[in-house]
Amino acid sequence: MIDKNTLRYRQSTMAVVTNDDGKILLVQKDNYQDNEWDFPGGGVEENEIPEQAVLRELEEELGASKFEIIAKSKTVDQYEWPDNVIERKFQELGKTWRGQQRTQFLIKFTGVNTDIVFPKSEIRQTLWVLPKELYKYFIFPKQFEKAKKLLEEFLQHTEK
């Protein structure tokens, strides 16, 4: 058994992607259950800053490059992985982390929906939802509460 307290956090990014209709893009990763959703994003690679990582991850996960960073959150989303995820990551990669620290961004999608052509290897499906509908899709512990606070922060930024 790996001692979680000796592990670091994986540096990652998360994007609240909005469109002209005021909707937010959600993704269902290939290892998620049918009722589990999240914002898109992914890991920060060596010699990469979070701003570069989030745009690269969006292009890799969604097959599109028409994204514009609007704001970066003051809050980093930090969470612990369950022990079984830590063990699985170690078996797959030979290394692991205790969880993730995600730099969070507000991103404007400047393309059209047909620009999004995601590879089935990472993302099972995508969905555009209204902010008020997030509670239906965010079922991970504290996921909806954190998303609500983040959207409030980004709303203040966009009203300036």
What is the pLDDT at residue 28?
A: 94
Mean pLDDT of the chain: 90
Radius of gyration of the chain (CA): 16
| Residue extents of the structural domains in the chain | 4-154
Q: Identify which of 148, 132, 62, 140 has the alpha carbon closest to the alpha carbon of residue 100.
A: 140
Written as six digits, the tokens of 29 are 């990763």
Higher pLDDT, 120 or 87: 87
What is the pLDDT at residue 121?
A: 77
47-61 in b/e burial notation, b at 16+ Cβ within 10 A? eeebeebbbbbbeeb
Fold of 4-154: Nucleoside Triphosphate Pyrophosphohydrolase (3.90.79)
Would you say residue 21 has pLDDT above 80?
Answer: yes
Model confidence over 101-153: pLDDT tens digits?
Answer: 999 999 999 999 888 887 777 889 999 999 999 999 999 889 999 999 999 99
Helix H or strand E segment including 77: strand 67-80
**Best mean pLDDT range from 14-18, 94-98, 120-124:** 14-18
